[in-house]
Structure 1
Amino acid sequence: MSSEKRIPLPFKIIPLEDEVQQKIAKDFAGYPNGLVSCNHWGFKFSATVTEQEVEDMYNHPLDPRDVWVVTPPKCGTTWTQEMVWLIANDLDYEGAKTPFIPDRWSFVDFPGLSDKEYMKRFTSNPSEKDGATGGPPNLAGDPNRPPPRFVKSHLPFSLSNPRLLDVCKVVYVARNPKDACVSYYHHMRLIRVHDFLGDIELFTEYFMKDELGESPFIEHMIEAWNLRHHPNLCFLFYEDMKKDLRSQIRKVAKFFGKDYSEEQVDNLAEHLHIDNFKKNPFVNFESLNKLGLTYPDRGSFVRKGKTGDWKNHFTPEMNEKFDKWMEEKLKGTDLTFVQELEKQD
């Protein structure tokens, strides 16, 4: 653990308006207390997060040997974690076969993700069903494991340790907001600690109002985009990974000072191909099913992994509204998103 002096959190934690909280509690069974806002553009946590927990996130220990993957939710996070871990660990495929991905990666913002009151129902009645030992697994991982530590975070840079980019290598992934929205919708219906009860149209309204846990997405990505030239930041787009994964593998390998042969790159691309990734038990959080933390009939943790799936969910009216919203959000920036691909893996 770092002995450096702790930095006071520069933001207040502010509950949302009562009317909004009541609506969230009605539409998300997993958030009976609603959400809180924290930072200058309103990043959202569960309302049960404490100032101490957010300050701990802000002061997460750093070591030059540590590696971070930072993304908004549902932007290829787990996919990127697997790629980065293997590249940084000399393609140690056997070492990647841990029973549970948090055995290799700690998850900084996990304490602010779910409602503590709601989570009690998953910890008070341990179940032996399907080999479960009772209670949710430690999704946060161990932040105090010895370096090099591999750290996953959905926190924006403004809520991360201010020294992060000066100390650690960070891989950031952005994704077009339409597909991110659709993926988050399915995720929040699948995972019972969120338990969204509405349809895609209602969820899209929440997305555009930035009234979801760990939103807003676009401000998150703009903040990272403006830091993309920092030598310790490797900025990727999900769509580039879908279009030409091998070139992105080479880009990340170069970032970590690794030089892999064409055959090694091909093997890693094959390992990461969505058809194989969906079948990989070491990245699919299968233990969540065993513990009753998911609705198995609503899909799997790794879903389609496609660019352009939003077209299967958005009506023309929804799309028009979303486009106008995005245009307003991106005004004054040169950040743009690819929403469709002619060919993808």
Structure 2
Amino acid sequence: MPRAVYKNVDGYCVPQAFNEECVRSALNYEPQPEDLFIVSYPKCGTTWTQHIVYNILNDRPPPNIVADFRRKMPFLELKGAQSLRDMSRPGAIKTHMPFRSTLFSKHARYIYVCRNPYDCCVSFFYHAKNKPDHQFADGTFSEFFEMFVEGALAYGDYFDHLLPWYERRDDPNVLLLTYEGLKKDTAAWVLKIADFLGENHGTRLRADPVALNEVLARTSLETMRQMLSDGEKTSLKERLSYEERAPQWVKDAGEVTTLLRKGIVGDWRSHFSADQVKRLKDRIALKTRGTDVMSLWDDCDLP
């Protein structure tokens, strides 16, 4: 049975493309008071949130060249802690690292983005299938589902990632939002994000509906999909530029698709079998016992 191929760096599972020293520097990074993190499990709305934050802070869209975008809003474990020292401020730091004491500081700020596990599983499947560094091009959804329910994926188990941040949702330096909520009422959540970034940002957007509508237009999924479609194709080759001999999957990187796929809620219905629904329900019951975390999706008609 094909399985996506990852590597373990000091207990943290990452795609093959990641530089081990960059990952280690990320794991050991101590957050600074000026740091703003956008944290999520993969395929839960990270890129969308990055674009919203950048637009609010800079009143313009981010650069559509992948390398430039990552310099403005670095991916911590991909580029390493040095990238944070070189980034433009104000800006946000992307990470998929699970909650850990070294990452969390009461002095830094965190936007945590989560998505229901059914849709997350489907979206992550397509991501792994279309990203050469996951080496899963011939994998099926059934095979990926087995890895998801086992928690045997890059960045770890979905529930182990979500639950510690859910417990911190009321901390003053944490803003927890769901992909589904952002999709349902984007304007309301853009304003909440703006308030979290600084009262002046929320006040400005409320006083200027034109500015708010411009943020909404620039961060629509169609607009972002167009921006990312060209630059994303070169990202893996750029990512592994330190390698003298790139493996075949790097040479195939020109075939990758954009980070954004359908961007809809409920796509899981066209992928899950009845048995898979039951098994994920059982996994949810096991992993979330004693919490009300699934109430985040009470209005999403989940099984």
Shorter-chain TM-score above 0.5: yes
Report the counterpart of residue 75 of structure 2 in structure 1.
Answer: 107
Specify the code of the residue in structure 2 equivalent to 1:82: H
Report the counterpart of residue 228 of structure 1 in structure 2.
Answer: 169
Q: Does 1:294 align with 2:253?
A: yes
When the two chains are superposed, the root-mean-square deviation of aligned CA atoms in Å is 3.0
Percent identity over paired residues: 25
Report the counterpart of residue 81 of structure 1 in structure 2.
Answer: 50
Question: Map of 1:149-188 to 2, 5 A cutoff?
Answer: 149-158=91-100, 160-163=102-105, 166-188=106-128
Distance 1:201 1:53 in 2: 32
1:272-312 per-residue CA deviation (whole Å, 9 max, x = no partner) reads 2212221124896242387745363x743211111111111
Change (3 A) 1:248 1:283: farther
Report the counterpart of residue 211 of structure 2 in structure 1.
Answer: 264
1:134-192 per-residue CA deviation (whole Å, 9 max, x = no partner) reads xxxx69882221544521000122164342xx222211101101111111111111111
Specify the code of the residue in structure 1 equivalent to 2:57: A
Q: Does 1:318 align with 2:286?
A: no
Aligned residues: 278
Of 211-220 and 271-280, deviating more is 271-280
1:31-65 per-residue CA deviation (whole Å, 9 max, x = no partner) reads 4xx54673xxxx53468989865552233253323
Question: Map of 1:25-44 to 2, 5 A cutoff?
Answer: 27-28=3-4, 30-31=5-6, 35=8, 38=11, 44=13
Distance 1:186 1:64 in 2: 36
1:37–1:45 contact (8 Å) kept in structure 2: no
Q: Does 1:237 align with 2:178?
A: yes
Report the counterpart of residue 152 of structure 2 in structure 1.
Answer: 211
Report the counterpart of residue 7 of structure 1 in structure 2.
Answer: none
Three-state SS of the structure 1 residue aligned to 2:177 is strand
Unaligned runs of 5+ in 2: 239-250
Change (3 A) 1:171 1:162: closer
Query: What is the TM-score when the length of structure 1 is the normalising length?
Result: 0.71
2:32–2:107 contact (8 Å) kept in structure 1: yes
Distance 1:141 1:189 in 2: 30
Unaligned runs of 5+ in 1: 1-22, 111-137
Three-state SS of the structure 1 residue aligned to 2:83 is coil
Q: Shift in Å at residue 255 of structure 1?
A: 0.8
Distance 1:229 1:73 in 2: 23
Change (3 A) 1:310 1:72: same
1:219-271 per-residue CA deviation (whole Å, 9 max, x = no partner) reads 21111010111111111111001111001001001111212122222221122
Distance 1:50 1:279 in 2: 29
Q: Does 1:277 align with 2:243?
A: no
Q: Shift in Å at residue 340 of structure 1?
A: 7.1
Change (3 A) 1:283 1:71: farther
Distance 1:49 1:294 in 2: 15
Change (3 A) 1:283 1:177: farther
Q: Shift in Å at residue 83 of structure 1?
A: 0.5
Report the counterpart of residue 253 of structure 1 in structure 2.
Answer: 194
Distance 2:16 2:221 in 1: 35
Of 227-236 and 153-162, deviating more is 153-162
2:228–2:259 contact (8 Å) kept in structure 1: no
From 6, 10, 25, give the equivalent of 1:56. Answer: 25
Q: Does 1:335 align with 2:293?
A: yes
Change (3 A) 1:160 1:285: farther
Query: What is the TM-score when the length of structure 2 is the normalising length?
Result: 0.81
Distance 1:49 1:264 in 2: 38
Distance 2:196 2:30 in 1: 22
Specify the code of the residue in structure 1 equivalent to 2:142: E
